[in-house]
Amino acid sequence: MITLKNKPGVSFVSSVCGKKEFDGPLGDKFDMHSEDDTFGKKSFEAAEQEMQRTAFALALHKSGLRERDIGAIFAGDLMNQCTASSYGLLQYDVPYFGLFGACSTMAEAMILAAICVDGGYYRRCAALACSHNCTAQRQFRYPVEYGGQRTPTAQWTVTGAGCALIDGGGVMKITEALPGRAVDKKIKDANNMGAAMAPAAADTLLRYFRESGSDPYDFDMIVTGDLGREGHSITKELCAYSGVDLGERYLDFGMLIYDETQDVHSGGSGCGCSAIGLAAFLYEKFRSGECNEALFIGTGALMSPLSLFQGESIPGIAHLLRFSSGRQ
Amino acid sequence: MITLKNKPGVSFVSSVCGKKEFDGPLGDKFDMHSEDDTFGKKSFEAAEQEMQRTAFALALHKSGLRERDIGAIFAGDLMNQCTASSYGLLQYDVPYFGLFGACSTMAEAMILAAICVDGGYYRRCAALACSHNCTAQRQFRYPVEYGGQRTPTAQWTVTGAGCALIDGGGVMKITEALPGRAVDKKIKDANNMGAAMAPAAADTLLRYFRESGSDPYDFDMIVTGDLGREGHSITKELCAYSGVDLGERYLDFGMLIYDETQDVHSGGSGCGCSAIGLAAFLYEKFRSGECNEALFIGTGALMSPLSLFQGESIPGIAHLLRFSSGRQ
């Protein structure tokens, strides 16, 4: 477990999303959306880059900062060779650390940014992650035009990009972090990412409670990144087996972004899911004072279409951050 | 520029490579090689995973350490969704940070590992990167069986995996680091990665000399990751335009791994190029006392086949580390 002695904080956040996310329960909390998910671009890949660029630009705008005020960017996405981030953020002359943590990328980015700020290596860093439903469909499943049938455990890749600026300020202090280990329970169903990632979420959570001496009752909220209904219920069950009752405070961003009428089956997923969930939901709960202690567990499935074609199973990973408002 | 006050050091290194690398001028310096590049596996993707696994296992073996002694692994590769690293290192119960810095990944991993050790967040971290010629050919160009003609500026993706353990010990101390910014000079020729990456290398080098107040004469060696002959000469020229003469001390791992009889055209490339070059060449120079001050600049091209198909240019990035032996 990593303790961040100087308590770096999330000082500003931004979120950009697509139409379906805007139509969901958190719709009015997102900073910006595109009515047709293209963000005015000719390809969905270019749209995803534009989303990532816009998220960073918005965070700068909201904070009144300029690019030279940002020490480094930690960013990633789901596209092959993480091009949504590298092309999207290209115009900014800021040192760039490219990450691949699959859908856990936002948590991975925030941990590394927090370490750099806490240790005094940078005054301020940005953490970003994004995903786009149509680029993910084309790359991991079928092109959207194909209209493939989805199984009940399938999730809907969120079209969204989120940014968090981490420095000495803010109401959401990062006090502890627990980077995850890859966990492989031999799930091979690419339409059940929740089941593939849930064991990693439970592994990280149980390890955290053990190492920190805390328990779920110490938190107002415990939120996983994108397990969806299926993964949420498996994580709850796995923790219960080990005698840890996560209770009603345990939420999942994949279940918060869409409602039941939106035909997303098990819920939202993708790097953008936890990124915009964190910005539009969890950060807001801290700002409004509704939440003072929370755990955020970014969850990722470390597979590729090729690894599945070659018969490999899907390892999961889950990175944890503890947020505290400092209020009593 | 980042100053690492506690001077974390590279205490152990390991390198694993293929037949062509073993036949090259550094051949006898690598720890292990496969005679047929398969490492006993059925697919080249599985071979690359096995290489990465072996590199980590060898580093543990050489150091006498066990996996529980490693605080975190920072690793990446060129494959889609970085599966060589996540699957290759899956058996180890060590917190895992997946990175994508294209061929600059070894430098990116070493910077982040050094920060974590220097700041006291972990006692010891591992940095790894790998690439495999046949997985890269299949993914980025043509399957090897196709026998496509290569242009004179084309490079040969190195089959290799390297690991560096970073802690308080070792003869190669990491004293400073300068993470790179993405630089895009609108190169669109996927067979000329040297030209795409050289402007980033020059940008980072010139920025480093300016910020640190040092000049090339302060170093025994300045080594870039995988620019090859083409990129090496462009970098030299770009620095000369700015009044900085890199001189004979400026080398490139892509030019050191193969000799002129090996038909690799402009030289070696890939994440594995700088990883095994660092382990088998630069680390050895520090150990033998031939080198006391050096700069290592990991270079990467942040493109994907899809980004090229869509007409995008190839941005480069270059991350720098300064190594000192501490000897006078």
Tell me which chain A residue has its CA closest to the CA of residue B180.
A95
Residue A158 has pLDDT above 90, yes or no: yes
Q: Which domain holds residue B68?
A: 2-167
Chain A residues whose beta carbon lies within 8 Å of the beta carbon of residue B305: 80
Measured between its terminal Cα atoms, the distance across chain A in Å is: 24
B154 in the same domain as B21 = yes
The residue that leads in pLDDT, B142 or B270, is B270
Cβ <8 Å between B98 and A78: no
Tell me which chain A residue has its CA closest to the CA of residue B111.
A97
Which residue from A300, A267, A198 is spatially nearest to A239, judged by alpha carbons?
Answer: A198
Q: According to the model, what pLDDT value does residue B327 have?
A: 84
Whether A59 and A165 have beta carbons less than 8 Å apart is answered as yes
The two three-digit tokens of residue A215, written as one number: 């328990």
A266 in the same domain as A155 = no
Could you tell me if A242 lies within 8 Å of chain B, comparing CB atoms?
A: no
Complex prediction ipTM: 0.98
Residue A144 has pLDDT above 90, yes or no: no
Specify the pTM.
Answer: 0.98
Count CB atoms within 10 A of the CB of residue B6.
14
Chain B residues whose beta carbon lies within 8 Å of the beta carbon of residue A118: 119
- Beta carbons within 8 Å of A124's beta carbon, 6+ residues apart: A11, A65, A69, A70, A71, A117, A165, A166, A167
Residue B328: which pLDDT band, with cuts at 50, 70 and 90? low
A177 in the same domain as A137 = no
Report pLDDT digits (tens) over B75-128: 999 999 999 999 999 999 999 999 999 999 999 999 999 999 999 999 999 999
| CATH number of A238's domain | 3.40.47.40
For residue A81, the SS3 value is: helix
Residue A200 has pLDDT above 70, yes or no: yes
Window 67-126 of B, Cβ < 8 Å to A: 72, 76, 78-83, 86-87, 89-90, 92-102, 108, 112, 115-116, 118-122
Report the share of chain B in percent with pLDDT over 70. 100
User: For chains A and B, what is the number of CB pairs under 8 angstroms?
Assistant: 151
Cβ <8 Å between A96 and B121: no
Report pLDDT digits (tens) over B183-218: 999 999 999 999 999 999 999 999 999 999 999 999
Cβ <8 Å between A45 and B80: no
Q: Report the gap between the CA of A15 and the closest CA in chain B (Å).
A: 23
Cβ <8 Å between A96 and B312: no
B125 in the same domain as B226 = no
Could you tell me if B313 lies within 8 Å of chain A, comparing CB atoms?
A: no
A156 in the same domain as A292 = no
Q: Measure the CA–CA gap between B54 and B91, rounded to whole angstroms.
A: 11
Tell me which chain B residue has its CA closest to the CA of residue A76.
B100
Residue A237 has pLDDT above 90, yes or no: yes
DSSP B75-124: EEESSGGGHHHHHHTTTS-S-EEEB-BTBTHHHHHHHHHHHHHHTTS-S-
Q: Measure the CA–CA gap between B107 and B101, rounded to whole angstroms.
A: 9
Q: Measure the CA–CA gap between A276 and A279, rounded to whole angstroms.
A: 5
Residue A28 has pLDDT above 70, yes or no: yes
Count CB atoms within 10 A of the CB of residue A151.
11
Count CB atoms within 10 A of the CB of residue B54.
22
Point out the least confidently predicted range of A43-57, B43-57, B139-153: B139-153
| Nearest neighbour of A181 by CB, restricted to B46, B95, B108 | B95
- Beta carbons within 8 Å of B88's beta carbon, 6+ residues apart: B48, B49, B50, B51, B52, B53, B56, B130, B161
Q: Report the gap between the CA of B184 and the closest CA in chain A (Å).
A: 8
> For B131-160, what is the mean pLDDT?
92
| Nearest neighbour of B81 by CB, restricted to A43, A97, A100 | A100
Count CB atoms within 10 A of the CB of residue B313.
16
A9 in the same domain as A146 = yes
| Nearest neighbour of A100 by CB, restricted to B100, B115, B315 | B100
The average confidence (pLDDT) of chain A is 97
Tell me which chain B residue has its CA closest to the CA of residue A99.
B99
The torsion region of residue A247 among left (phi > 0), alpha (psi -120 to 50) and beta comes to left
Domain count, chain A: 2
Enumerate the β-bridge partners of residue B97: B74
Tell me which chain B residue has its CA closest to the CA of residue A111.
B97
A254 in the same domain as A183 = yes
Cβ <8 Å between A102 and B98: yes
Report pLDDT digits (tens) over A250-286: 999 999 999 999 999 999 999 999 999 999 999 999 9
Tell me which chain A residue has its CA closest to the CA of residue B82.
A100
CA angle, residues A80, A82, A86, in degrees to nearest 5: 140
Report pLDDT digits (tens) over B280-326: 999 999 999 999 999 999 999 999 999 999 999 999 999 999 999 98
Q: Measure the CA–CA gap between B151 and B195, rounded to whole angstroms.
A: 13
Count CB atoms within 10 A of the CB of residue B216.
17
Chain B residues whose beta carbon lies within 8 Å of the beta carbon of residue A101: 97-98
Window 181-210 of B, Cβ < 8 Å to A: 181-182, 184
B15 in the same domain as B115 = yes
A317 in the same domain as A183 = yes
Could you tell me if B306 lies within 8 Å of chain A, comparing CB atoms?
A: yes
Residue A98 has pLDDT above 70, yes or no: yes
Could you tell me if A179 lies within 8 Å of chain B, comparing CB atoms?
A: yes
Chain B residues whose beta carbon lies within 8 Å of the beta carbon of residue A184: 90
Which residue from A52, A75, A80, A55 is spatially nearest to A138, judged by alpha carbons?
Answer: A80
Q: According to the model, what pLDDT value does residue A328 have?
A: 67
Whether B174 and B301 have beta carbons less than 8 Å apart is answered as no
Residue B151 has pLDDT above 70, yes or no: yes
Last residue of a domain, one of B133, B167, B201: B167
Cβ <8 Å between B80 and A305: yes
Q: According to the model, what pLDDT value does residue B268 have?
A: 97
Count CB atoms within 10 A of the CB of residue A142.
11
Could you tell me if A41 lies within 8 Å of chain B, comparing CB atoms?
A: no
A176 in the same domain as A157 = no
Identity of the residue numbered A86: S
The two three-digit tokens of residue B120, written as one number: 């006291």
Q: Measure the CA–CA gap between B178 and B111, rounded to whole angstroms.
A: 8
Last residue of a domain, one of A121, A141, A167: A167
Cβ <8 Å between B87 and A118: no
| Nearest neighbour of B317 by CB, restricted to A96, A99, A115 | A96
Q: According to the model, what pLDDT value does residue B143 have?
A: 82
Tell me which chain A residue has its CA closest to the CA of residue B307.
A83
Last residue of a domain, one of B142, B167, B192: B167
Tell me which chain B residue has its CA closest to the CA of residue A109.
B97
- Count, in order, helices (H) and strands (E) of chain A: 11, 14
Cβ <8 Å between B101 and A100: no
The average confidence (pLDDT) of chain B is 97
Cβ <8 Å between B181 and A79: no
Q: Report the gap between the CA of A288 and the closest CA in chain B (Å).
A: 32
Q: Report the gap between the CA of A281 and the closest CA in chain B (Å).
A: 26
Could you tell me if A45 lies within 8 Å of chain B, comparing CB atoms?
A: yes
B161 in the same domain as B12 = yes
A97 in the same domain as A212 = no
CA angle, residues A158, A164, A168, in degrees to nearest 5: 160
Cβ <8 Å between A303 and B98: no
Cβ <8 Å between B303 and A83: yes
Chain A residues whose beta carbon lies within 8 Å of the beta carbon of residue B116: 115
